[in-house]
Amino acid sequence: MNSLWTITKWMMREKKDIILSVFFGYVAGIAAVALFAASGYLVSRAGLVPPLYALMVPVVLIKLFGVIRASARYQERLASHRATFTILSELRVRFYRQLEPLVPSIFAKYRSGDLLARVVGDVESLQNYFLRVFYPPIILVLVFLSTIFFVTYFSVWVSVWILFGVFVTGFLIPAFFARVRAKHDRELRTLRGDLSSGMTEMMYGYRDLLLHHRLGQTRNELLEQSDRYADAQKRDVTNQFFNSSLVVAASLLVSWGVLAIGAYLVVDGELNGLFLAMLIMMSLTAFENATPMAVFPGHFADSKQAADRLLEVVEPSEAIVATESARTDVALETAPDVSFERVSYRYPDTFRDVLSGVDVTLRGGSKTVIVGPSGSGKSTLLQLLLAFVRPDSGEIRLNGQRLDDVTQASVWREASVVLQENHFFFGTVRENLELAGNFSDAEMEAALASVRLGFSLDEPVLEKGANLSGGERQRLAIARALLKNGLLWILDEATSALDARTEADVFAEILRQADEATLVMVSHRLTGLERFDHIIVMESGRIVETGSYDELMQAHGVFYGLKQIEQDIFA
């Protein structure tokens, strides 16, 4: 319930339209009751064949209430839908703002398809919260209180019976179906999330599925998931129709009860028969406001679970934002010293430390390469240095300042980064290079030339660089880093897709431009490491050797063994 209360507080930012919706909804509801009450009285009165002038007042009232009802209903629809769409827009923006600080660590916990289902599907589900959950009970209570107060003037017994009918149709039946719907709704939402995740993964892995002849099988599995989701939706709609039918049937039984009680009171002389038709018409009309309560349980459960799922994702956001706002920016004027002091890290929901007790210091302006087998924690070490994630224990320092006291954005602003996977946006080469900053065409062309790329700046780039080869994507990413030219260079397998000659040329350019900067690089290749000041050898999340190239080769340790293996393979 706390999640819906949070959504309600966000929703109350549109209190003007909400108040207008409730006011005009009440006016439309009570005008409808008054319209049919006047109609019932007019029918009974006309049956006594009075003079025409005696019917003028009811006729005028009927016309007046009809106009009021139509006008109020229009204004109510206008205000309520305006409020709903504004609330949805606010929810999307707020959710995105709270989601942004959680990236990229959020992807370790949630699949991208599941996140997409929450961002789109769950936010969309909350459009029913105001129109189908928050708003109808208020109108129901206000209209029925007014109706019962009016009916009590004619008969207490009829008003008590109507009150009982309100309890049954407005609360008892919806409460019963709410328990049934809760279980079914969990199934529906799980199926939707699984289907969304499956579709996303199939689109991302389409080429690999095609190459490995698994596309047909994956498509069939998704079709089966889609069929299960469609069947669940069909059952859900059937349940809602049954619920609505039951509420309507109960409402009609209440009106029959009003007729029976009223007829008894007329025979007993306690009620003027002139008002019997009026009371019946009022009960029929008043219970129209109970009909939306038939779908209340479904929309309530749907809204609650949507709110729970959304807030579950962004719940850590406020703490992260508060912590980040307490941090200070780092401004580097010279190449920074970097030190890791007993640093350990474990990814969320895993049982193995990726890094354990890492302790090393890199002096400012030095060139360091990290080597070791796959899975030894090399890339994770760079992620910690970039503040993508924070260490579980130990400290990382830049120029003696704790990295945990420094904002992520300021670290990224000072660093030139090339990761294993670099994203390229749909657009042109120029637009993708402009991520590094505002540079002239001549500067961008020079950066492209330095990495041996003959691209035109206006050459198109497809989403994720789909029209570029692996080597071209790496060189374009390196060109971005060269343009930025920060005082801290972070390279993670930056040239792994390049041929030996191009790699040597590109890397020479990197070393030339980063001559005054601190450079940290991860590499699986052991050739050309003589140019580095410092080599770190990692294994199973620990540093097993450090030193210069000559020192490690003379030590005949792990690095020497790796070098011998490489020479044997490429001999």
Residue 24: CB atoms within 10 Å: 21
Q: Which two tokens stand for residue 123?
A: 């936010």
Mean pLDDT in residue range 330-348? 88
Q: What's the mean pLDDT in 18-22?
A: 90
**Structural domains of the chain ordered from first start:** 2-313 (1.20.1560.10), 338-570 (3.40.50.300)
pLDDT of residue 319: 66
Calculate mean pLDDT across residues 21-39.
90
The residue among 518 and 560 whose pLDDT is bigger is 518
362-396 burial string, b = 16+ CB within 10 Å, else e? bebbbbbbbbbeeebbbbbbbbbbbbbbebeebeb
Task: Inform me whether the pLDDT recorded for 1 exceeds 60.
Answer: no
Q: pTM value?
A: 0.69
Mean pLDDT of 212-223: 84
Q: How high is the pLDDT of residue 182?
A: 66
Q: Is the dihedral of CA 245, 251, 257, 259 positive or negative?
A: negative
Name the strands in the sheet holding 393-398, side by side, starting at the edge strand that comes first in the sequence: 355-362, 338-345, 393-398, 401-402
pLDDT at 318: 67
Looking up tokens 């959710």, which residue turns up?
A: 95
pLDDT value for 324:
66
Question: Given the DSSP bridges, would you call strands 338-345 and 355-362 parallel, antiparallel or unpaired?
Answer: antiparallel
- Tell me the backbone φ, ψ of residue 544, rounded to 5 degrees: -105, -20
Q: Which pLDDT score is estimated for 195?
A: 80
pLDDT above 90 coverage of the chain, percent: 15
Decide: 122 and 340 in contact? Cβ < 8 Å: no
127-139 as b/e: b if 16+ CB within 10 A: bbbbbbbbbbbeb
Summary mean pLDDT of the chain = 84
520 φ, ψ (degrees, to nearest 5)? -125, 125
- The pLDDT of residue 219 is 86
* pLDDT score of 163: 86
Q: Comparing C-alpha atoms, which of 372, 461, 397, 369 is closest to residue 423?
A: 461
Residue 389 has pLDDT above 60, yes or no: yes
Please tell me which residue, 99 or 138, carries the higher pLDDT value.
Answer: 138
Residue 519 pLDDT > 90, yes or no? yes
Does the pLDDT of residue 416 top 60, yes or no?
Answer: yes
pLDDT at 480: 93
Q: What is the pLDDT of residues 118-173, one digit of tens each?
A: 777 778 878 888 888 888 888 888 888 888 888 888 888 888 888 888 888 878 88
Tell me the per-residue pLDDT of 436-463, one tens digit each, with 9 for 90 and over: 888 899 999 999 999 888 888 999 998 8
Res. 565: pLDDT tops 80: no
pLDDT tens for each residue of 463-490: 888 888 888 999 999 999 999 988 999 9
Give the position of tokens 């229009």: 74
Percent of the chain whose predicted confidence (pLDDT) is above 70 = 95
